A and B are shown apart, each in its own frame.
Chain A
Amino acid sequence: MFANIFVIGLLNGCVYALLAAGFSLLFSVARIVNLAYTAYWMIAAYIYLGMTLLGLPSWLAAAVSIILTIAMSLVFQRLLDPVKGNPMSVMILTLAIGVILQKSVSFVQDSVQGVYFQIVPSLIKGSTHILGVAVTYQYLLSLFVVLVILAALGMFLTKTRFGIAIRATSQDKQVAGLVGINEKAVANIVTGIAVGVAAIAGVVVSPLYVLEPWMWLQHLLVLMAVVIFGGLGSLKGSMIAAFIIAFIEAGVVFLLPSVGFLRSAIVMFIMIVVLLVRPRGLFGAMVEEH
């Protein structure tokens, strides 16, 4: 039982953490709430699936999927420019982009008859037992890849010159401009990195899930909960929140199976309570407004 919670919670926690990291990165530099973010994750999984169905080798399919997804996100980013000043319009626009991606997938699915579009083939087959729980090699691979990307992202942001430039931009745009950081270029690269991270997650994790075009909405809510629970813009906060939420979810599903369908409601309820006590999340900067 607890081993089950641990195994599921750990993987979901890692995925949430990765998506939250990308989402936070996007928010901290562009200062926009991009609701289409999990849709990129979904579309990457589907492009990967489509490419493998066309007969491409896994690695090539993965590469094509990631590159296509990033390219798509950069094009969509252009659309946001005219409404940058109005957060509500940005939200509606990114939501619309997400729905358009979802409906495009459904459209393709419907027009190609006779192909089953839900189960993504594993990169490697087989399984083993850990702590008495059956664990597939795909699960271990996914976990490993997600952990590596997380670590790489962390290293990149704290250790490299460019990563520091990004963080400088997120702290203060005007000052960053003064010290010679090209804000536009940084924004584009950050979008690329953030969406790339989501795409990689989509490719390596998708074999563990049943794919549905609408699932990005469900993940979006969890992702928003994670990011805001942890404190918008705090990388450390969202990492911790990701695991808390993933383990709560897994705990509810395994310990209280009769109310398993309530798991997102329980997460939401806890989040509302936390936000009421700490209005800027667990680790959000508690600065006084001026």
Chain B
Amino acid sequence: MRIGNITDYLKKEIFPVPTRVMAFVGLAALVAFPLIMDQPHILRLMIMIFIFSIFAASWDLISAYTGQVVLGHALFFGVSAYTCAMLNTHFNMSPVMTIPIGAVVAVAAGLIAGFPALRLKGIYLGLTTMAMPVVLVAVIEYMRSYTGGEQGIIGIEQLATSRVHFYYIALLLMVVSIAVLMKITRSKIGLIFQAIRDDEIAARASGVNTTYYKLLSFSLSGLFAGLAGGLYAHFMRVIGPSVFEFSFSFEPIIWTIFGGGASIVGPVIGVFILLPVVEMLHVHLGDNATLIYYLILVIVVVFAPGGVLRLINRYTEKVCPECMTVNAFPRRQCRVCSAKLSAVNGE
């Protein structure tokens, strides 16, 4: 691509839309961030944000896009984290090997978890997936000689030598993952996922091989959750059965609902807002942080049911009714087809 093409693209597709400008500026800031801020605990928080953004977006794909109620998403994350930890500590495999293997194992877990989804729907599927990590924790505690039981596994190798190094790896992987997930959800596959979410029987009657696409969604979701899990294991250097806890399964749901579901960007926004908030609350309030955190959550869910993303969109952009192009809010005319834009932002 020539430089001219890039500036052209920026001019046409990025700068006219406020949210895209925000994303662009935000990304630039993230790249520059370690140059101005080198406090280890801040970098640590940022790395966590990157890892959990991938994790949250992978839940968005399976549940908000494909409509498969997964309440045990920690399964994929934890399976991969444990795979990486065991391969690394028992066989001395390098993180460059273990993370892809962990992600593949998470895909396998996704296929196994997807199997019930071929027969179960809604809350029944939700409970089945919620029960899976419970069963797995029991297996881990039973096979303690390999898994470390309740103590977990310690002494996992760091993926990168320095924290700044890790920061850039995690940032890159997050940007790539989010870009791939957005590409998928805006493609034909994403359309079919949404059709399955809205009405599975009608999707089948439209000629959609629902078995294939449901398993595909589970595998893709497992892949990205697994990637996050592998990064987590090699960043924390110690993991235990706590990665399978309910709270760990519920976090991605909270982030997604908070940020705005079925958008991939929404969960990322959720993580970027909520994780620092939690950190701050913990520093200032100690044990009572969780109480305040959930109170904030209740307020946001009740007063902004569509999530933060919808709220931002509503006040910054308008969608052209004719050509579906996104326009900045103050515009009266569409920037592509010159159609009139209504003053109020309707759905």
Binding site for B on A (CB under 8 A): 33, 79, 82-83, 86-89, 91-93, 95-97, 99-100, 103-104, 106-107, 110, 217, 221, 224-225, 228, 232, 259, 261-262, 264-266, 268-269, 271-272, 275-276, 279-281, 289
Assess A96 versus B294: contact at CB under 8 Å? Given A79-B302, A265-B135, A275-B116: yes
Inter-subunit contact B137/A265 (CB<8 Å): yes
Inter-chain contact count A-B, CB under 8 Å?
A: 111
What 13 additional pairs, Cβ within 8 angstroms, besides A93-B298, A279-B120? Answer: A88-B64, A93-B301, A96-B298, A97-B298, A100-B298, A107-B288, A217-B246, A221-B130, A228-B124, A262-B141, A268-B134, A271-B127, A275-B120
Inter-subunit contact B131/A225 (CB<8 Å): yes
Inter-subunit contact A83/B305 (CB<8 Å): yes
B248, chain A: closest CB distance, angstroms: 13
A224 proximity list for chain B (CB < 8 A): 127, 130
Assess A103 versus B301: contact at CB under 8 Å? Given A95-B250, A265-B135: no
B274, chain A: closest CB distance, angstroms: 12
Q: What are the 7 tightest A-B residue pairs by CB atom distance, in nearest-first order?
A: A265-B138, A268-B131, A103-B291, A96-B294, A262-B138, A279-B119, A268-B134
Inter-subunit contact A280/B138 (CB<8 Å): no
Assess A82 versus B123: contact at CB under 8 Å? Given A97-B298, A100-B295: no
Task: Report 16 cross-chain contacts, Cβ distance below 8 Å, ordered by A residue.
Answer: A87-B122, A87-B123, A91-B253, A93-B301, A96-B297, A99-B294, A103-B288, A103-B290, A106-B287, A110-B287, A221-B246, A232-B123, A259-B142, A265-B139, A268-B135, A271-B131
Inter-subunit contact A93/B291 (CB<8 Å): no
Inter-subunit contact A104/B291 (CB<8 Å): yes
**CB-nearest residue of chain B relative to A90?**
B301
B59, chain A: closest CB distance, angstroms: 10
B299, chain A: closest CB distance, angstroms: 9
**CB-nearest residue of chain B relative to A218?**
B246
B63 proximity list for chain A (CB < 8 A): 88
B261 at interface by CB-CB < 8 Å: yes
B257 proximity list for chain A (CB < 8 A): 88-89, 92
Interface band, chain B: 35 or more
B334 at interface by CB-CB < 8 Å: no
- A33 and B122 CA atoms in complex are apart in Å by 11
A37, chain B: closest CB distance, angstroms: 13
- A217 and B142 CA atoms in complex are apart in Å by 23
For residues 292 through 347 of chain B, which have their beta carbon under 8 Å from a beta carbon of chain A? 294-295, 297-298, 301-303, 305
**CB-nearest residue of chain B relative to A93?**
B301
**CB-nearest residue of chain A relative to B257?**
A92
A275 proximity list for chain B (CB < 8 A): 116, 120, 124, 127-128
Inter-subunit contact A225/B142 (CB<8 Å): no
- A264 and B288 CA atoms in complex are apart in Å by 29
B75, chain A: closest CB distance, angstroms: 12
Interface 1/0 per residue, B138-177 and A, CB below 8 Å: 1101100000000000000000000000000000000000
- A235 and B47 CA atoms in complex are apart in Å by 48
B253, chain A: closest CB distance, angstroms: 6
B298 proximity list for chain A (CB < 8 A): 79, 93, 96-97, 100
A103 proximity list for chain B (CB < 8 A): 288, 290-291, 294
For residues 238 through 265 of chain B, which have their beta carbon under 8 Å from a beta carbon of chain A? 246, 250, 253-254, 257, 261
A286, chain B: closest CB distance, angstroms: 12
**CB-nearest residue of chain B relative to A217?**
B246
Interface 1/0 per residue, B206-225 and A, CB below 8 Å: 00000000000000000000
Inter-subunit contact A89/B301 (CB<8 Å): yes
